[in-house]
């Protein structure tokens, strides 16, 4: 117990003394009424203490003696409470208590900052390790795959599979999480997506915010990459890391390659398919589904009206 808590105001002891005086003498007077006198006799003594000897109220001597002691205690307590040394002692005790609380608050704030710094350091170390592993796994020998972006696709019209990815409610998440936290989450998401694209021969055509536009020569590769992206995000969540849901749409058809860009209705339709996908879902059009092997499980989602598209499209969900 701190020393300042032991230092009490002198009047505190006087108050306790008075309470005990009243309680004990009240108990003794009650016993006298029960054993020796009556309630009327006690009323007479209270009204005129001089009648105590006549009715044999012997507790009067204890009450008077103790009362005198209580008066002496009261005088001493008042004098102590008014003395300069007592007032200084109480002020010092209050200052010490205020300082103690201030130190405790500073210790708590320092502990919280230390824990936050430790968490940020651990997160940075983990992200650095992931980046290092990805950088070691990604390089390929020159000319060893269709994902080598140093080899541009010739201009002209080509049949391709187009995939769009989109983070669900990214605007609301960015606002609620704050710029720094959202930047960290978005960085992890982008590394996961690019790692999956590299493993399944996808050409990243462009990004818009948190979304990716990717070109594949094979619908099978596009679907495999989409499944890998969803699994990678799910694995992060299992590891107690927050990752938002991704929705993915895939369509296939002829598109025009022009100076590294991809132009055509196939791109627009893939974007519309993505917009109707549910969080964590991979949706494909019938043109993509017709070219997938039996090992890929599909769920029929029926016809969907797509914004800006003249007629409904048959969509299917990929089990990942």
- Helix, strand, or coil (residue 164): strand
Name the segment(s) of the chain with CATH classification 3.30.70.1230. Answer: 156-318
Q: Percent of the chain having pLDDT more than 90?
A: 32
What tens digit of pLDDT does each residue of 134-178 get?
Answer: 444 444 333 333 344 445 566 678 899 999 999 988 888 888 888
Q: What is the mean pLDDT of residues 273-278?
A: 94
Alpha helix locations (H) across 49-159? Answer: 52-55, 59-82, 84-137
Q: Which CATH class is domain 156-318?
A: alpha beta
What tens digit of pLDDT does each residue of 167-210 get?
Answer: 988 888 888 888 888 888 999 999 999 999 888 988 998 887 78
Eight-class DSSP state of 264? S
Reply yes or no on whether the pLDDT at 3 is more than 70. no
pLDDT for res 36 = 86
Q: How confident is the model at residue 262 (pLDDT cuts 50, 70, 90)?
A: confident
pLDDT for res 248 = 96
- Taking Cα atoms as reference points, which of 190, 194, 211, 187 lies closest to residue 149? 194
pLDDT for res 88 = 76
pLDDT for res 8 = 60
**Exposed e or buried b per residue across 207-238, where buried means at least 16 C-beta atoms within 10 angstroms of its C-beta:** eeebbbbbbbbbbbbbbbbbbbbbebbeebee
Reply yes or no on whether the pLDDT at 308 is more than 60. yes
Q: Are 282 and 320 in contact (CB under 8 A)?
A: yes
pLDDT for res 121 = 64
Estimate the share of the chain in helix, then strand, then coil, as percent rounded to the nearest 5: 60, 20, 25
Provide the CB-side half-sphere exposure for 12 (13 A, CA).
Answer: 5
What tens digit of pLDDT does each residue of 87-97 get?
Answer: 777 777 788 88
Highest mean pLDDT among 46-50, 139-143, 144-148, 230-234: 230-234
């Amino acid at each position: 117990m701190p020393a300042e808590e032991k230092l009490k105001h002198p009047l505190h002891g006087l108050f306790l003394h008075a309470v005990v005086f009243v309680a004990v003498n009240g108990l003794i007077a009650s016993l006298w009424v029960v054993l020796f006198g009556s309630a009327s006799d006690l009323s007479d003594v209270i009204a005129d203490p001089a009648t105590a000897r006549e009715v044999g109220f012997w507790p009067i001597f204890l009450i008077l003696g103790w009362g005198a002691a209580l008066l002496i205690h009261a005088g001493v307590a008042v004098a102590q409470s008014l003395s300069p040394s007592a007032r200084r002692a109480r002020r010092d005790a209050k200052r010490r208590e205020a300082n103690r609380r201030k130190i405790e608050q500073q210790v708590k704030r320092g502990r919280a900052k230390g824990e936050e710094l430790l968490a940020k350091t651990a997160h940075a170390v983990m992200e650095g390790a992931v980046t290092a592993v990805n950088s070691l796994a990604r390089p390929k020998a020159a000319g060893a795959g269709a994902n080598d972006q140093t080899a541009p696709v010739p201009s002209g019209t080509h049949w391709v599979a187009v995939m769009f990815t989109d983070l669900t409610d990214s605007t609301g998440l960015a606002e609620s999480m704050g710029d720094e936290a959202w930047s960290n989450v978005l960085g992890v998401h982008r590394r996961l997506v690019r790692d999956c694209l590299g493993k399944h021969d996808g050409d990243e055509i462009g990004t818009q915010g948190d979304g990716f536009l990717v070109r594949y020569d094979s619908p099978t590769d596009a679907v495999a990459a989409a499944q890998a992206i969803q699994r990678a995000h799910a694995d992060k969540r299992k590891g107690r890391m927050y990752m938002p849901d991704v929705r993915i749409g895939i369509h296939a058809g002829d598109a025009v390659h022009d100076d590294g860009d991809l132009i055509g209705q196939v791109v627009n339709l893939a974007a519309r398919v993505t917009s109707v996908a549910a969080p964590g879902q991979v949706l494909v059009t019938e043109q993509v589904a017709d070219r997938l092997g039996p090992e890929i499980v599909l769920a029929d989602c029926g016809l969907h009206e797509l914004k800006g598209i003249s007629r409904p499209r048959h969509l299917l969900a990929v089990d990942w």
